[in-house]
Structure 1
Amino acid sequence: VQVMKRLGFEQFMVAGHDRGGRVAYRLALDHPGKISKVAVLDVIPTAAAWDRADARLALSFWPWSLLAQPEPLPERLIGAAPDAIVDNAIVQWGSPAEMFSAEVRDAYVDALRDAVHVHAICEEYRAAATIDRELDAADQANGRSIECPLLALWSSEGGLENWYVEEGGSLAIWRKWADSVEGSPVPGGHFFPEEHPHQTAAALSKFFEDNRGNDASNRVL
């Protein structure tokens, strides 16, 4: 919020994928007057995910529990096999192995060879298991919800498409957290913004441009 203010924007729209999506919806909860629209990609609220944690989440999204362990265990495990971590994520999260070029895959692996980078990733998961979950739970208990329009996009091949069908799917979950919700699945795995960038961009553009008007202060982050 302070960065956008320094850039001259008192109000803006925000989109985020995975951890970025969690930052985005918390911005909308914590700064309701600043965020005019929010788009979240392949996530449900952190507390909602933990509340529904079962064997499927434990096996499919093992980073949630493993990387939340106290340091240095997760950091050492990742540092010992960064290539295996990346390959597992690509294949197990619904994307075809050939989707990433060798150059892109290697860039992800190189990032996990950086101890500072790895520690930051683990700290994100530790926060999700503690303070992030606690803040979400407090907002739910106090009846606080996201006031601005929210777009949810998720992988057609992932857990958000299949795990929560009995309670109405991802949109039903988000409607417990936000006043105005729309969304749909996107073909591909967890990395669908990279698998199908044009389709993802089109969905985001339509959402952000609808009823945008001529307010020059309303920018997308």
Structure 2
Amino acid sequence: MLANFKQQIITTTQAKINTFIGGEGYPLLLLHGYPQNYYMWHKIYDRLSQEFTIIITDLRGYGNSEKLPVTPDSRNYSKRVMAKDQVEVMSSLGYDRFYLVGHDRGARVAHRLTLDHPQRVQKLALLDIVPTYQLYTTTDREFATAYYHWFFLIQPHPFPENLINSNPEYFLRYCLQSWSRVKGAFTEKAFKEYLRCFSNPETVNSTCEDYRASAGIDLIHDREDLDKKITCPLLVLWGARGIIGKKYDVIASWQERAINVTGKEINCGHFLAEEAPEKTYLALQEFLIK
């Protein structure tokens, strides 16, 4: 579905990862968020591919990537193993070092990847997040209300799965509408692609496991690495009308976890690449080429 891009399934140590490759130039890996897949980049990937070799993947458990089984501690969806998938994808393509951009869940994978494999990431951009550890340790009514899914999806299997699977289209549409602020941001084609994948019960299960891991094993890893900082240049972008920008000083949050941070807000909600593609593209392009 990405014009002029080659699609392939890359087998890593633990999972088969759906991958798209296109463009020319320095390698740039794009990681999507919830409840989406690779297609969330469809409004900006083509322009980025004129300056970079673009690699777009489905995270394990999402889209057309492999779904791993449920475990008691959700370790199959720890950000550490999800990050390792992406490192192995890039190695299989011959890229030992690359630029990295992640949104939402993909940004959390990107954060862990950069901590665990700092030699691999030349520059990092994170879209509309602050560190997971900070979110869980500063939770209040405002955050819990806006990010209700963080506490719903982590409930024991199969409670959230059964409720979502009873009407996946309603749940998906509600998530997209409640977190966005720009009317018409999601094209019909994009929604159909997200719904195609989200209608698969295995995807619903895997994405719940992703969140369960964030509330468990990921917090253990994050606590162990509180003194470890991102050393490469970091750009943070966030939606001015979203909850992250209203509740947190995003740059200050990341200055505690990185040594070289720049960033700015964009006039939209949570889904920057689809709500404000032009401004998101320009911000990424300026950061990556300078």
TM-score range, shorter chain: 0.7 to 0.9
Displacement over 6 Å in runs of 4+:
none
**Amino acid paired to 2:230:** I
Residues 97/111 of structure 1: CA separation in 2 closer, same or farther (3 Å cut):
farther
Q: TM-score, normalised by structure 2?
A: 0.67
- For residues 150 and 169 of structure 2, the distance between their equivalents in structure 1, rounded to whole angstroms, comes to 19
- For residues 238 and 112 of structure 2, the distance between their equivalents in structure 1, rounded to whole angstroms, comes to 18
Higher relative contact order (CA 8 A, sep 6+): 1
**Does 2:277 align with 1:203?**
no
The correspondence of residues 11-160 of structure 1 with structure 2, limited to 5 A, is 11-140=97-226, 143-160=227-244
Task: Give, in angstroms, the shift of residue 2 of structure 1.
Answer: 2.2
Which of 250, 265, 278 is matched with 1:185 structurally?
A: 265
- For residues 53 and 64 of structure 1, the distance between their equivalents in structure 2, rounded to whole angstroms, comes to 11
Contact 1:21 1:43 survives alignment (8 Å): yes
Q: TM-score, normalised by structure 1?
A: 0.88
Deviations 1:25-65 (A, max 9, x none): 11111111111111100111111111111111211111111
Task: Give, in angstroms, the shift of residue 199 of structure 1.
Answer: 1.4
**Amino acid paired to 1:110:** R
SS of alignment partner, residue 232 of structure 2? strand
Residues 38/3 of structure 1: CA separation in 2 closer, same or farther (3 Å cut):
same
SS of alignment partner, residue 38 of structure 1? strand
Contact 1:78 1:112 survives alignment (8 Å): no
Contact 1:10 1:34 survives alignment (8 Å): yes
Q: Which runs of 5+ in 2 are unaligned?
A: 1-86
Contact 1:42 1:160 survives alignment (8 Å): yes
Alpha-carbon RMSD across the aligned residues, in angstroms, is: 1.3
Contact 2:235 2:261 survives alignment (8 Å): yes
What is the percent sequence identity of the aligned residues?
37
